[in-house]
A = this chain, B = another copy of it.
Amino acid sequence: MARIVMKFGGTSVANIERIRAVSAFVRREIDAGHGVAVVVSAMAGETNRLIGLCADAGPPAPTLDARYIEHDTVVAAGEQISSGLLALVMQNLGYRARSWQGWQIPLKTSINHGEARISEISDSAIGEAMDGGEIAIVSGFQGIAPTGRISTLGRGGSDTSAVALAAAIGAARCDIYTDVDGVYTTDPRLSKQARRIAKISYEEMLEMASVGAKVLQTRSVEIAMAYKTPIRVLSSFDPPDAPGPGTTICDEDDIVEQNIVTAVTPDFNEASVTVLAVPDEPGRAARIFTRLAEAAINIDMIVQSASREHGFANISFTTKEDYLERALEVLNSDKEAIGFSSLQSDRNVTKVSVIGLGMKTHAGVAGTMFQTLADKGINIQNISTSEIKISVLINSDAAEYAVRALHDAYGLGSPAKPADENA
């Protein structure tokens, strides 16, 4: 009997009808003889409702602050409700099932309320119950801090709960059921050529998550990679008796035929800032990025170029759109010490990334990217690379066009969709 973990997000448990559909997926695994733990998010809309109530209660306390504890207490109620309801539905179908709250497992976390990190998951009680044939319905997103207070893992934390639980109980795999039927070569809304990927490596998935593909939370992929827990991304809207094959996220060694480029991923949630005419002296750039880090503003794609004025440089970087206002405030408030002349910013930019393990061993990927964009007359504002990713910053107006062109250029489209099942 293998232990497996199944995770269902908010839209998959949005109401009792959807919860019943979930129970059919669970039944299928139980009937296949597996020991099953099911991790659930709160019913769609519930987390936002609870966050709204907290917001009404007064100005928001910062996350990672003790004042955020009550926020976590309120918001974690959402998963308590959905886990109890799924357990009830399974019981009414004649199965032995019980809900587990974070503190009951216990799933121990750090004290950083609102964005707590999992420190330890006890597998004794829950593993024993599963081996005894009881379905474990686990509240995702929540845990217990060293103080005995309820903590939460941050947005999308249920993915992390599921993968960490799978690692803790030595599950054969962790199936993430969501509202899409897998990970795609690009956003299907942008290109009809987008194709579901049968297998993708942890590394590639991490790069995709980090550039804004919202299928999985980054931390959940990191944990899966560290513990070599295979993840499958599946649709909870497929028929339970014949679910699609989804996308398997696994070790690169388990992928026989690696693509040079696996996916083209746009990130529209970007903004660029250029700090003009910074004196070209040691410590000026450091000051800029230290100030931004102190304000907890994540930055990306840093480029320094010569200014027209001699002895000065322009420094550009990108950040998430949400951070833009704060980034500009932080820099303006320190204008004198940094010594720049003015700031330019642009929200109308998109980061387009091509990601693929094969880049490690194949040359020419970057060349193809730049040539393709040049052929289409698309100007590149900024470039950054990692071992398996090349990202360019372009004007948002050209983004869809660029994504489709790159998707074609790397041969990712496939008219024969089912053919890749044997990959």
| Cβ of A81 to closest chain B Cβ, rounded Å | 5
Complex-state Cα separation, A101 to B57, whole angstroms = 19
Query: Do A54 and B85 form a contact, CB below 8 Å, given A67-B91, A77-B77, A80-B73?
Result: yes
Q: Which residues from 53 to 101 on chain A have a C-beta closer than 8 Å to any C-beta of chain B?
A: 53-54, 56-59, 61, 67, 69-71, 73-74, 76-78, 80-81, 83-85, 87-89, 91-92, 98-99, 101
A71 contacts B57, CB within 8 Å?
no
**Closest chain B residue, CB of each to CB of A68:** B88
**Per-residue contact bits, chain A 11-22, to B (CB 8 Å; 1 contact, 0 not):** 000001001000
* CB-defined contacts of A85 to chain B, threshold 8 Å: 53-54, 57, 70, 74
Q: For the complex, is A103 an interface residue (Cβ under 8 Å from B)?
A: yes
Complex-state Cα separation, A255 to B37, whole angstroms = 59
B104 contacts A58, CB within 8 Å?
no
Q: Which residues from 175 to 222 on chain A have a C-beta closer than 8 Å to any C-beta of chain B?
A: none
Complex-state Cα separation, A78 to B84, whole angstroms = 13
Q: For the complex, is A148 an interface residue (Cβ under 8 Å from B)?
A: yes
* CB-defined contacts of A101 to chain B, threshold 8 Å: 73, 150
A88 contacts B103, CB within 8 Å?
no
B77 contacts A80, CB within 8 Å?
yes
Complex-state Cα separation, A346 to B410, whole angstroms = 82
B56 contacts A71, CB within 8 Å?
no
Q: For the complex, is A50 an interface residue (Cβ under 8 Å from B)?
A: yes
* CB-defined contacts of A19 to chain B, threshold 8 Å: 57
Instruction: Pick the residue among B53, B80, B83, B91 that contacts A16 (CB under 8 A).
Output: B53
* CB-defined contacts of A87 to chain B, threshold 8 Å: 70, 73
A148 contacts B104, CB within 8 Å?
yes
| Cβ of A39 to closest chain B Cβ, rounded Å | 16
* CB-defined contacts of A58 to chain B, threshold 8 Å: 88-89, 91-92
**Closest chain B residue, CB of each to CB of A50:** B81
Copy tally for this chain in the complex stands at 2
A74 contacts B70, CB within 8 Å?
no
* CB-defined contacts of A148 to chain B, threshold 8 Å: 104
Complex-state Cα separation, A171 to B342, whole angstroms = 63
* CB-defined contacts of A104 to chain B, threshold 8 Å: 148-149
| Cβ of A22 to closest chain B Cβ, rounded Å | 12
Instruction: Pick the residue among B59, B81, B98, B150 that contacts A74 (CB under 8 A).
Output: B81
A99 contacts B80, CB within 8 Å?
no
A74 contacts B69, CB within 8 Å?
no
Chain B CB within 10 Å, residue with most, of A56, A70, A104: A70
Instruction: Pick the residue among B70, B77, B81, B98 that contacts A69 (CB under 8 A).
Output: B98
**Closest chain B residue, CB of each to CB of A89:** B57
* CB-defined contacts of A91 to chain B, threshold 8 Å: 58, 61, 67, 70
| Cβ of A152 to closest chain B Cβ, rounded Å | 12
Complex-state Cα separation, A53 to B20, whole angstroms = 12
**Closest chain B residue, CB of each to CB of A56:** B16
* CB-defined contacts of A80 to chain B, threshold 8 Å: 73-74, 76-77, 80
A99 contacts B84, CB within 8 Å?
no
Complex-state Cα separation, A81 to B72, whole angstroms = 10
| Cβ of A399 to closest chain B Cβ, rounded Å | 40
| Cβ of A78 to closest chain B Cβ, rounded Å | 8
Chain B CB within 10 Å, residue with most, of A16, A85, A92: A85
**Closest chain B residue, CB of each to CB of A125:** B148
* CB-defined contacts of A83 to chain B, threshold 8 Å: 73
A-B contact pairs, 15 of them (CB 8 A): A16-B53, A57-B85, A57-B88, A57-B92, A58-B89, A58-B92, A70-B85, A70-B91, A71-B88, A73-B83, A73-B87, A74-B84, A74-B85, A77-B80, A104-B149
Q: Which 10 A-B pairs have the closest CB atoms?
A: A58-B92, A74-B84, A73-B84, A77-B77, A57-B88, A16-B56, A70-B84, A70-B87, A70-B88, A77-B80
User: Taking beta carbons and an 8 Å cutoff, which residues of A are in contact with B?
Assistant: 16, 19, 50, 53-54, 56-59, 61, 67, 69-71, 73-74, 76-78, 80-81, 83-85, 87-89, 91-92, 98-99, 101, 103-104, 148-150
